[in-house]
Amino acid sequence: MNTSGTNTAGKWRYFLSHRRGFFSFLTLSFIFLLCSGAEFLSNDKPLLVITKKSWLFPILRYYPETAFFDGEDIEMNYMSCEFNQFIQKEKAFVIWPLYRYGAQTISLDAPQPSLSPPDCHHVLGTDEQGRDVLARLLYGTRISLFFGLGLAIFSSIVGIIVGSIQGYFAGKIDLVLQRIIEIWDGLPIFFLLMIVSNFLSANVWVFLGIMTLFSWTRLVPVVRAEFLRGRQQSYVKAAKALGVPEGRIIFRHILPNALAPALSCLPFLISSGISALTALDFLGIGLSLGTPSLGDLLRQGKSHLYAPWLGLSAFLTLATILVLVTFIGEALRDTFSPHKPS
């Protein structure tokens, strides 16, 4: 009798009943969706410009000044006086984002050129270069979330494959791979990231690839243990006796049962990825200069203690995300614990 569907439904009901974990999941999902559409929420380009002759979508396409008036063949500055005069002259209909500042927008309406405190124009003030903090916070949070999620996905793929091979074949293969993993875990990943950042152009993909090379080992013990237990089950032995290919036994009979415990490790991989990227940016060896990030705001807050809105906004955002991810991880751990009811 197949009870996998019943077990899955029971664990899903238990996760829903875990109020703190489920509420954290909903909150983090809302933040993720909000940051995913950052360009449509916070930007210095209009969403839509309707003139008598055409409909223009500056947020999606590049438009030179010549598309609006007799200007130069350069990108239109939608915050300029010339564009405002064009709107008034043509009586154009313009739809702006909810917040009219992008991550790289240099403020021209702040009380002071840079490090302006929060006011009616800039909800969280401006940074040391006069850029809006709320906009950079929104874009920086998106980079951190996508980095952490990408690290969890890629690390899971490699970790599950290696753990499956170790647990299913066991014996010498398991011993050799286990020794390799122990040596690999002993390498100083943080110093390697610092060295690589000096030789390669710092970008998200480079750091994501390096972090994946060292993070996949966290899932191996969990998957390996499930495969060592699963290969002894009677249905697996029966499948071997019937001549079922080993690949089918691994992916269809054992792997589905091993995935459930591995899920509880994913939030902690996300958390470690976000923390690592923030730490590198804080030290100034992370992403390229000008890229919005939480670590860059924390670094600016440390350098300008008289502008507390910089450090506090980044710290509270980072702390909120890490706490939510931790609560989700605890809920998943309790849900897939063997001591919990199915």
Reference 291, options 200, 192, 201; nearest CA is 201
Reference 38, options 79, 97, 94, 96; nearest CA is 97
At residue 342, the pLDDT reads 47
Span 109-128, pLDDT tens digits: 666 778 888 988 889 999 98
- Mean pLDDT over 215-219 rounds to 89
Q: What does the buried/exposed string (b/e) look like for 2-35 if buried means 16 or more CB atoms within 10 Å of the residue's CB?
A: eeeeeeeeebeebbeebeebeebbebbeebeeeb
Question: Residue 42 — pLDDT band, cuts 50, 70, 90?
Answer: very high
- Mean pLDDT over 183-198 rounds to 79
Could you tell me which residue, 287 or 59, shows the higher pLDDT?
59
Residue 103 has pLDDT above 50, yes or no: yes
Residues whose CB is less than 8 angstroms from the CB of residue 43 and which lie 6 or more positions away in sequence, other chains included: 59, 97, 99, 100, 101, 102
Could you tell me which residue, 36 or 285, shows the higher pLDDT?
36
Residue 104 has pLDDT above 60, yes or no: yes
- How much is the mean pLDDT over the chain? 85
Please report, in angstroms and rounded to a whole number, the separation of the first and last CA atoms in the chain: 16
Could you give the CA distance from residue 47 to residue 58 in angstroms, rounded to a whole number? 6
Ordered by where they begin, the domains of the chain are 4-38+135-335 (1.10.3720.10), 44-96 (no CATH)
With a pLDDT cut of 70, the percent of the chain lying above it is: 93
At residue 8, the pLDDT reads 62
Could you give the CA distance from residue 75 to residue 102 in angstroms, rounded to a whole number? 15
Question: Residue 36 — pLDDT band, cuts 50, 70, 90?
Answer: very high
Residue 132: DSSP 8-state: B
* φ and ψ at residue 72, rounded to 5 degrees: -95, 165
Span 244-268, pLDDT tens digits: 888 888 888 888 878 877 888 888 8
Rounded to the nearest angstrom, the gap between the alpha carbon of residue 161 and the centroid of all alpha carbons in its chain is 23
